[in-house]
Structure 1
Amino acid sequence: MAHFVYPNSGLGQGRFNPDGSPRPGYLAKMYWAVIGAFLGTALLLRICDYVLAMQRKRSLNARPKSVLARLYTTFTSIGRVLTYPTPPYLQRYSGLVHFPSVGRMLLVIFYWCLLLGFFFYRNPIKSSSDWLNVAYRAAWLSIAQLPLIVLLSVKRLSIISFITGSSSSVTLNFFHRWIARALLLTTTLHMFYMMRYYASFQDLVMRLSIDIFMRRGIGAWCVLAWIVLVTTISPIRHYAFELFFANHVISIIAFFIAVMLHTPPYAHVYIWIAIGIYIADVALRWALILLNNLSTAGLNYRASVSVVHDAATLKIEIPLTSLRFLKWKPGQFVRLSFPTVAPFMAHPFTIASLPEDGKMLFVIRAKAGFTRRILKKTLVIARDIEKQHDHVVATATYPVIIDGPYGGPSRPWQQFDTVLIVVCGIGATYGFSVLLDVLRDKGAVRTLRLVWIVRYYGDIITFREQLEQTLNSCETDASNLSILVQIFVSDRSTIPIPSQGQSDFDLFLAHLKDVVEVIPGKPVIRSVVRSVLGEAGGETGIAACGSVKLTTEIKNEVALLDAIANNPGSDTQKCWVHSEQFDA
């Protein structure tokens, strides 16, 4: 990046040059015109989804009745056929790198082509000044992207999430990273063409020695390259998240300062918009945190933390006795902070309970960093430690700060004829919240199925409370809702043999035999999806929470079944998938 001086053309302002080519500042406005048109289309589609959902819930029937409803569901079904899959040859390397779906790849390709199209449009390089013109085009396109990158990263002021209905942090972060990479591309083009403008290497060196704006621009590019190419790679994000977050915040502040110092005042509008969005989001977020968590007596909430199962699983309960405005939907998550354990750290956790339960419940697998610190401190200061059926139990109570809720699906599950929930391990926190929500308000749902994949039989014990709630709901339910919970235990040796005696928990599961099946081995996801869709009488909603491999396999199978159907929009083949991923 280099100093903005655009000779004899109004400093890049206005619309067109005398030769008919657009001026750099006008290209930034055209960029946002295209982005605005895309977001407007997404908002229209979301409104259509909302109207369709209300019609289905009101009529308790998931089959579209009107011609417009059938046309719309056919259109969206074909769209899923084209966008859900991940090419099979890319899945071969899923253990090394996670490849996006066709839909995500197409959006990224479209975005990059849009930028390059603006960059090269009607701008033949005939003289040295043309190199400067191209450089300023890239500069304006770079600055114009800053508000969009910030909009994809904010938590409370997530306008894009509201417009598109895509509240998944995995999806938003994916596009946040790829647009940041596009920003690195345009700033690199700006720097390259700016340097190419000088006739010789000696001229460039001399310019660098006297032009502080150019040096600031190179500094800004170096910070951006550090953020995009080094610190945001997957291993650092996953295994050293706290370090990644701290570095990310510091680096972004340094980048914005360098960009402000590098650019002239008339180019600051997009920078100030980006900064304003971020400041407004932080202010709103902290206002809600203070409103929900503080009272005249101090912090409102105290969390009971239990170390259960294999001494590596945490169960956190927060009674909402002083609940004010805190409400959440199934599948949403909150960020928890424990001031007495890790004062400057917060971590997102999916809520396993519903507001009607009068508490927030979390089941967490302790790994590194934040969760490991809570586990160790609980074991040290626990009020009681005892052994029960070879499971270590330790409990402690801490003050806790709740930030949220966030995320969740964009469509209510009650609008579907069939709801299939597929989760792995600790993803049951997400799965059971959806299951219990549908049981309490069935809407148009006629078939409800949960497929839960665990490694060890003992993993099931942690969710005994949810299984009891499922049993109670089934016993009091007089409707024709068909419900089945299938628990697949991959380690067969951990399943107890009935002839050797049964524990209380084994007897409890036996009492659930009409609703819950414990099956040794791993399920064939393709067969599960096909059997459910084959029996569906209307559109199916699939909630998936697990590895990228699992969610990819589900989406590929859904797209394949729609593609081979006689009518991609037929009532029995339409299927919508909402996925939450562990390692995206």
Structure 2
Amino acid sequence: MDLMSDMPMGSMSMGDGAPSLFTLQKMYWAVVGSAIGAATLVNILNRLLAQHRLRDSSLTPAKPKSLFFNTYATLTAIVREISYATIHPLTVGNYTIHFPPLGPVLIILANLITILVLSFYKLDTADVWKWEDIGYSTGFMAICQLPLIFLLAGRQNIIGFLAGMSYASLNWFHRWAARTLWLTATIHMCFWFRDWARYDYIKYELYNDELTKRGFAAWVILTFIVVTSIRPIRGLSYEVFVLQHLVTFVGFIVAVWMHAPDEVRIWVWIPIGLVVFDRVVRYVWGAYANLAVFHRKSDKGSRVWTHSATFTPMPGNITRVTVDNPGINWQAGQHVFLTCHTIVPLQSHPFTIASLPEDGKLEFFIRAENGGTRRFFRFASKNDKVLGVEPAPAVRGRTVFVEGPYGTIRSLRQFDSVILLAGGMGATFTIPLLRDIVSVWTKEINGQIGQGSFQAKRLAATKRIRFVWVIKSRAQLILFESQLQSVLADVAECRLRQPDFQKELEISIYITCDEKLEAPTTAPPSLPLPTQSLVTSGLDFSYEKGLSAEKDNVSIHSASAESSSTAEPPAPVGKGCLPGGGCCCTTQIEDEDQVTTCACTCSGPVRSEQTIATPTVNEKPTLSTASSPSPSPTVLSGRPYPQTIIRKVLEKAEGESAVVVCGPPGLSDDVRRSVVYLSDERAVHKGTGAQGIYLHVENFGY
């Protein structure tokens, strides 16, 4: 483990024609640089492709029409089928292990193989006289990985900017690159121990050699960092994880710097520089975004700070946080880090922005879990006049700080068809994407084309949108009632202004657990009834399929809080039924168009959470199929079958389609497998002419 030498080891060859240690480090970074360069090239091509589609005046702008774009589409389809593939989750007791898709796994394996090949290149592990050389080579290869780990970790991410990836997506690579570093450092240490063991010298070195002490300390700290970054452990307390991660990072860098010889300390200074760069950019941008001197101050703002937020309790232990007149701009699907020191001191949490810039406000829906999010909900509950507590003027608005926005997703406007699937609070990600495309449709009807940096023939190539939202209780409908009203009203207006409007929008809402859901034993026998509708305040959720149940007109504002089910195995695939009782429905609906009977399985009683009564607020008139050409959402009890939903959209697609999912891991896994299966079924890579499928999976939770 001794890297100290009077002569520069890095410039020396390990013998037998092996390159020098410095050369091995350069070779590694040549590989890494090539990978980043390839990702950058793909990102540039995708951006050019998006612009090309918006300038295309044909009826099928999202369809490749040249040899180059046909070849690119075929190669992309091949890569996607491989990279999206994932194996079924593994259940061990009450814990379910979800595996990452094959694409990221292959990248991590390629990095590991590169490291191992360069570390052992032309070195015989069976030769005792080469063990010291292997100790040197693995040490040099370990330390040169540090810049990559920190490049993947920063929020102001250089790799993310070049490759068009979010720092949140790169954080997964950051964790596995760190584990690769740990493995390399462990091999480095073990070969030195193996060499010293021949002379029973390990204990002596650990007690008497300062360089060995520092190296062993660095390995211990790195081991602690790797172990605590495992999802089950870091999920115990995210705030504690972040704090200890920062502290141990400093200790690790100091130990490595003291352990490494002068000739390789540049690999330590680079990460330090990257951290400083990330922090400086974040603080400078944060100061601009949050200091009122740089913005027109809101009436609710303080004299110094820009942002003042109101906190409102919602059903299901959810807090709605609203920031009027924000000092930042953002795009649909992005998130910010929100800080409120008067409620949760010295903590910053990432929250998806559930509003669009044209709303003139930042809006967040935050589920109360542990730590800071639960404090938000408690504060909102104690200071809300709906609950009978009239808040004092001083607590109506609290000063908050925002950092961001962060998050990257390819513009969905370039795709022919878009399928948006969300589970629970994942709708905070998908609903802004839905609203963004529909708003573009409205602008096209109003003739607002060609306003960008290039003269576009259209603002969006999207012809149809399929939106699916899976929730546990109808109480959650209140969260996005006004947004759904706005979307349906915009589509209705487009159809009224342009009778030949060809855009399609279909919305389905699946309710899995509800206080109004009946078990099959209490439901009437299969009986075809006329179309039923669940009338809500502002929304007409029509059951347009022939379903069996009693008519149930209930306002979502008077519904009880969100419910949760007991953990039991899912029921066999079957039909759905109307909400109308008090249990959980685990039935998976294979095809909405063929739902004719009630066959839901009651998997357990509904357990009530804290109920928050919320006043009815009608921002727009009620939409109904009788007064408007806009379709109403379909509400079903049970779980969706993603493969059927996606297939039906793809059968109508006349160009590349996009599938976006945000929700629990189980839903994301189902969508991934469905996309891979349908991509293979459509045989894009075999030259059938079928269009490709772009998949974006937004991570859910920490």
Give the alignment's TM-score, normalised by structure 1. Answer: 0.92
Residues 430/76 of structure 1: CA separation in 2 closer, same or farther (3 Å cut): same
Deviation at 1:161, TM superposition (A): 0.8
Aligned residues: 565
Residues 492/385 of structure 1: CA separation in 2 closer, same or farther (3 Å cut): closer
CA distance in 1, matches of 2:207, 2:552: 83
Residues 239/286 of structure 1: CA separation in 2 closer, same or farther (3 Å cut): same
Deviation at 1:217, TM superposition (A): 0.6
Deviation at 1:556, TM superposition (A): 1.3
Q: Aligned partner of 2:440: which letter?
A: D
Choose which of 244, 262, 267 in structure 2 pairs with 1:247: 244
CA distance in 2, matches of 1:295, 1:123: 62
Q: Aligned partner of 2:698: which letter?
A: E
- Cα deviation, 1:243-285, whole Å, max 9, x if unaligned, reads 1111111111110011111112211101100110011101100
CA distance in 2, matches of 1:12, 1:446: 63
Aligned residue in 2 for 1:194: 192
Deviation at 1:127, TM superposition (A): 6.1
Q: Aligned partner of 1:115: which letter?
A: I
Residues 162/570 of structure 1: CA separation in 2 closer, same or farther (3 Å cut): farther
Query: Any residues of structure 2 matched to 1:64-463 within 5 Å, and which?
Result: 64-88=64-88, 90=89, 95-124=95-124, 129-156=129-156, 158-167=157-166, 169=168, 171-198=169-196, 200=198, 202-229=200-227, 231-296=228-293, 297-310=303-316, 312-320=317-325, 323-324=326-327, 326-386=328-388, 396-409=396-409, 411-442=410-441, 443-463=460-480
CA distance in 2, matches of 1:239, 1:122: 45
| Fraction of identical pairs, as percent | 31
- Cα deviation, 1:146-179, whole Å, max 9, x if unaligned, reads 11111111002x011112222161x312111111
Choose which of 652, 659, 677 in structure 2 pairs with 1:535: 652
Whether the aligned pair in 1 keeps the contact of 2:683 and 2:690 (CA below 8 Å) is: no
Deviation at 1:492, TM superposition (A): 5.5
CA distance in 2, matches of 1:429, 1:206: 59
Residues 274/246 of structure 1: CA separation in 2 closer, same or farther (3 Å cut): same
Aligned residue in 2 for 1:29: 26
Q: Aligned partner of 2:2: which letter?
A: H
Whether the aligned pair in 2 keeps the contact of 1:352 and 1:361 (CA below 8 Å) is: yes
Which consecutive unaligned segments of at least 5 residues does structure 1 have? 388-394
Aligned residue in 2 for 1:486: 508
CA distance in 2, matches of 1:17, 1:85: 41
SS of the aligned residue for 1:403 comes to strand
Greater CA deviation, 55-64 or 126-135? 126-135
Which consecutive unaligned segments of at least 5 residues does structure 2 have? 294-302, 390-394, 442-459, 518-533, 535-548, 559-620
SS of the aligned residue for 1:13 comes to helix
Q: Aligned partner of 1:346: which letter?
A: S
CA distance in 1, matches of 2:257, 2:191: 21
Aligned residue in 2 for 1:466: 483
Residues 386/428 of structure 1: CA separation in 2 closer, same or farther (3 Å cut): farther
Whether the aligned pair in 2 keeps the contact of 1:83 and 1:104 (CA below 8 Å) is: yes
Q: Which has the higher helix share?
A: 1
SS of the aligned residue for 2:186 comes to helix
CA distance in 1, matches of 2:117, 2:340: 49
Deviation at 1:235, TM superposition (A): 1.8
Task: Give the greater-gyration-radius structure (CA).
Answer: 2
CA distance in 2, matches of 1:567, 1:383: 57
Deviation at 1:45, TM superposition (A): 1.1
SS of the aligned residue for 1:420 comes to strand
SS of the aligned residue for 1:56 comes to helix
CA distance in 1, matches of 2:100, 2:503: 36
Whether the aligned pair in 2 keeps the contact of 1:84 and 1:555 (CA below 8 Å) is: yes
Greater CA deviation, 214-223 or 295-304? 295-304
Q: Aligned partner of 2:304: which letter?
A: G
Whether the aligned pair in 2 keeps the contact of 1:424 and 1:546 (CA below 8 Å) is: yes
Which structure is richer in relative contact order (CA contacts within 8 A, separation 6 or more)?
1
CA distance in 2, matches of 1:572, 1:288: 45
The question of 1:582 aligning with 2:700 is answered yes
CA distance in 1, matches of 2:172, 2:238: 16
Whether the aligned pair in 2 keeps the contact of 1:458 and 1:494 (CA below 8 Å) is: no
Deviation at 1:452, TM superposition (A): 0.5
Residues 562/15 of structure 1: CA separation in 2 closer, same or farther (3 Å cut): farther
SS of the aligned residue for 1:122 comes to coil
Aligned residue in 1 for 2:544: none
Aligned residue in 2 for 1:44: 41
SS of the aligned residue for 2:369 comes to coil
- Cα deviation, 1:422-471, whole Å, max 9, x if unaligned, reads 00111111111000110112410001111011111111011111112112
Residues 146/500 of structure 1: CA separation in 2 closer, same or farther (3 Å cut): closer
Whether the aligned pair in 1 keeps the contact of 2:123 and 2:130 (CA below 8 Å) is: yes
Give the alignment's TM-score, normalised by structure 2. Answer: 0.77
Whether the aligned pair in 2 keeps the contact of 1:548 and 1:583 (CA below 8 Å) is: no
Residues 305/571 of structure 1: CA separation in 2 closer, same or farther (3 Å cut): farther
SS of the aligned residue for 1:445 comes to coil
CA distance in 2, matches of 1:566, 1:125: 46
Deviation at 1:198, TM superposition (A): 2.2
Aligned residue in 1 for 2:56: 59
Whether the aligned pair in 2 keeps the contact of 1:538 and 1:571 (CA below 8 Å) is: no
Whether the aligned pair in 2 keeps the contact of 1:509 and 1:516 (CA below 8 Å) is: no
- Cα deviation, 1:324-347, whole Å, max 9, x if unaligned, reads 4x1111110001000111120011
Deviation at 1:489, TM superposition (A): 1.1
Whether the aligned pair in 1 keeps the contact of 2:470 and 2:639 (CA below 8 Å) is: yes
- Cα deviation, 1:535-582, whole Å, max 9, x if unaligned, reads 211111111101122112112111112213344365544100111132
Aligned residue in 1 for 2:601: none
Q: Aligned partner of 2:429: which letter?
A: Y
Deviation at 1:532, TM superposition (A): 1.5
CA distance in 1, matches of 2:10, 2:556: 76
Aligned residue in 2 for 1:514: 631
Whether the aligned pair in 2 keeps the contact of 1:84 and 1:103 (CA below 8 Å) is: yes
CA distance in 2, matches of 1:375, 1:492: 22
Residues 572/494 of structure 1: CA separation in 2 closer, same or farther (3 Å cut): farther
- Cα deviation, 1:400-438, whole Å, max 9, x if unaligned, reads 1000000131x1101100011000111111111000110
Aligned residue in 2 for 1:392: none
Whether the aligned pair in 2 keeps the contact of 1:546 and 1:582 (CA below 8 Å) is: yes
